A and B are shown apart, each in its own frame.
Chain A
Amino acid sequence: DAEITQSPRHKITETGRQVTLACHQTWNHNNMFWYRQDLGHGLRLIHYSYGVQDTNKGEVSDGYSVSRSNTEDLPLTLESAASSQTSVYFCASSATGYGYTFGSGTRLTVV
């Protein structure tokens, strides 16, 4: 069965370290997204991609980057982790015109 997987499920890192969160989907979806979830804010869009080599900034992109070298993967990198980036991160994918499929999320704690 097709799926979207995120890893790791939990991570603790130190302030200033570079961190990469993985997202892999086997749906063959063109569109992929990264959101962060914080209490009182819902889910906010960080970055998104409509296809290979395409990346775009969302509403809360500062301090984050993504790259899309193939259809299946959209890794999210925190260049220099900050305590404000402690959050739950969701990856999602969709085919154009259809709904989203979400990963199970990564809880990131920056200490």
Chain B
Amino acid sequence: AQTVTQSQPEMSVQEAETVTLSCTYDTSESDYYLFWYKQPPSRQMILVIRQEAYKQQNATENRFSVNFQKAAKSFSLKISDSQLGDAAMYFCAYRSANTGTASKLTFGTGTRLQVTL
């Protein structure tokens, strides 16, 4: 079974600075998807960024980018120019591309990000 590990329960960053959230995963599969979700105090789960394992290029969405290291099974999220609205719980998640189990997401335990002035 796949597992996702987020080793940083809490992180703090100053406004306008850059922060990196770590995620590692364990899988024997070669084709899969990785995601970062943001959960603000409203409790809504918001997709931040998605990476396909077969793509070597790291995904980027505005101030959010990932460092995907397939051999190391590492998938970190970098937030640049941090804003107060980035304060939230962040979850890393894995999904197989195998059609038999394609849709199940496996989540890490989350990292709570605090943004300070």
Q: Chain B contact residues: over half helix, strand or loop, or mixed?
A: loop
Residues of A contacting B104 with CB < 8 Å? 33, 45, 48, 58
Task: A23 to B41: give the CA distance in the assembly, Å.
Answer: 21
Residues of A contacting B106 with CB < 8 Å? 45
Q: Indicate which residue in A44, A97, A99 contacts B47 across the interface (CB closer than 8 Å).
A: A99
B91–A99 CB distance below 8 A: no
Task: A31 to B38: give the CA distance in the assembly, Å.
Answer: 22
Task: A31 to B91: give the CA distance in the assembly, Å.
Answer: 21
In chain A, what residue has the closest Cβ to B106?
Answer: A45
A97–B102 CB distance below 8 A: yes
Interface positions of B from 1 to 52, Cβ below 8 Å from A: 4, 6, 35, 42-45, 47, 50
A10 to chain B, nearest CB (A): 11
A15 to chain B, nearest CB (A): 25
Residues of A within 8 A of B (CB): 31, 33, 35, 40-45, 48, 50, 58, 88, 90, 92, 94, 96-97, 99-100, 102, 104-105
